[in-house]
Amino acid sequence: MNPEARRHICFLTGTLNAMAGAERMTATIANALAALGHRVTILSLWDASSQFPLHPEVRHEAVFAQRPSFKRAYFATIAGIRRHCSAHRIEVLVQVDPMLELFVLPATVGLGLHHIAWEHCHFDEDLGKPARKLARRLAARFCRQVVVLTERDRSRWLEALRPRSEVVCLPNPLPFALPEAPAPRTQRTVLAMGRLVPAKGFDVLLRAWKIVAAQAPQWQLVIHGEGEERPALSALIRDLELEGSASLPGICHDPVQTYGNAAVFCLSSRYEGFGLVLIEAMAFGLPIVATDCETGPRELLDPGRDALVVATDDADALARALLAVIRQPELAATLGTSGRQKASQFAVEHIAQQWDALVRAPR
C-alpha cells in the first residue's frame, strides 16, 4: 500500500470476548483492513481476550481488565480512550456502536480524528437504553460518517435526525470464504442460531416446532447460542414435550460443520439489525425460512425466490413454512441455489474495499 494511503485505524468496542455478531464483524473488518496494509488496533473497553482470530498485525488492547461500572468509571474510560488514540497516533476512530459516542466525543476533543460511528442495531430499537437516542443524535452531528447495515435504516437516520454526518450503508460481509460446495443437506436438521434473548423469537420457533414435530417426527431442531433466555427456553422445551426433537447445544464454535450438518435454516427474530446468519446459511446453500423483520431480513431476502418469509410472532405460519420446505425437496433446492448466489455478493473482499475507501477519504 502507498504510505500516503495507509491509515492508523482504531476500532473501539465493548469487548471481543463475546460470541456475537457485532464482535465478529469488528474482528472481520479489522483483519481485512490490516491485510490491505492499514495499521489497525482494536481497543476494547474491557477484557483484552477475543473469541475471534485476529490478523497478526492487529493489536488488541483494553481500557479495563474486567467490565467496570461505567457510571463510576466514566472519566477513567474517557481518559483511557484518549490515551490510546494519542499513544498510537490514531487517525481514524471507528466506534462499534453509536452509544460509545458518549465516551468518544469528550475523549477526542482537539485530536482531529476521522470519526466513524458503526450502527449494528436498527434505528427504532434502543435495546433498553434510553441514552441511545441521545448518543445517536450526537453521532449524527459530530461523526464524519455513520455506517448502517441496510438502506431502510439509512432512511430512518436521514428522516429522523437530519444528520450533519454522511450516513453510509455498508452491509456486513461473510466472515468466512464462500464454501466451494453447498451443504449436502442429507441430515434432517433445521438449524437456528443467535443469542438466546427475546428478540430472536426462539420461543415462537419452539411453539412452531411443536406443530412440525407432530407431522415430521424424524426431523430435529437445533438452536445454537447462549443468553439470558436459556432457562426459559429449556423449560418451554420440557413443557411442549420436545426433549426428543429440539436441543440447545450452546455456542457454535465450528460454523462450517454446523451449517454443513443442516438441511434448513430458520430465523424467527422479532427484529434484526442485519441478520448475518442468513447470509452465512445462504453461503452453504441452505433454504431459508424467516420472519419479516423490518430491517435486515426484509431487505436481504426475496420472498419466494431465496426464502419463505412469514409474519413475526406467528408460530402457525412459521410451522407451515417449515413444513413446506421439509416436504418439498424441489422448493428447498431452488431456495438454496438462489440464496447461495446472493451470498456471493457479500464476500469480505468486496465489503473490505468499501471500508478501505471510507477510511481513506481525504482528511
Would you state the cell numbers that stand for residue 193, as one nine-digit string?
442460531
Average pLDDT, the chain: 94
* % residues pLDDT > 90 (the chain): 86
Residue 81 pLDDT > 80? yes
Helix axes 329-343, 315-327, angle to 10 degrees: 100
CB neighbourhood size of 169 (10 A): 16
Q: What is the mean pLDDT of residues 79-92?
A: 97
Report pLDDT digits (tens) over 316-350.
999 999 999 999 999 999 999 999 999 999 999 99
Which pLDDT score, from 0 to 100, does residue 138 have?
Answer: 96
Helices (H), the chain: 21-35, 74-87, 101-107, 131-142, 151-161, 202-215, 230-239, 255-260, 276-283, 297-300, 315-327, 329-343, 348-359
Confidence of residue 1 (pLDDT cuts 50, 70, 90): low
Residue 125 pLDDT > 90? no
Give the whole-angstrom CA distance, residue 23 versus residue 12: 11
Residue 4 pLDDT > 80? no
Which pLDDT score, from 0 to 100, does residue 95 have?
Answer: 98
Confidence of residue 126 (pLDDT cuts 50, 70, 90): confident
CB neighbourhood size of 77 (10 A): 22
Give the whole-angstrom CA distance, residue 199 versus residue 122: 12
- Give every CB contact of residue 142 below 8 A, 6+ residues apart in sequence: 101, 105, 115, 164, 165
Q: What is the mean pLDDT of residues 45-54?
A: 95
Report pLDDT digits (tens) over 242-270.
999 999 999 998 888 999 999 999 999 99
Confidence of residue 272 (pLDDT cuts 50, 70, 90): confident
Which pLDDT score, from 0 to 100, does residue 278 have?
Answer: 95
- Which amino acid is located at 39 in the chain? R
Map out the domains of the chain with their CATH numbers: 8-173+347-359 (3.40.50.2000), 189-346 (3.40.50.2000)
Report pLDDT digits (tens) over 136-186.
999 999 999 999 999 999 999 999 999 999 999 999 999 888 999 999 999
CB–CB of 59/34 below 8 Å? no
Q: What is the mean pLDDT of residues 3-9?
A: 86
Report pLDDT digits (tens) over 150-162.
999 999 999 999 9
Residue 299 pLDDT > 90? no
Report pLDDT digits (tens) over 280-292.
999 999 999 999 9
Residue 124 pLDDT > 90? no
Give the whole-angstrom CA distance, residue 8 versus residue 19: 26
For the chain, the straight-line distance linking the first and the last C-alpha, in angstroms and rounded, comes to: 18
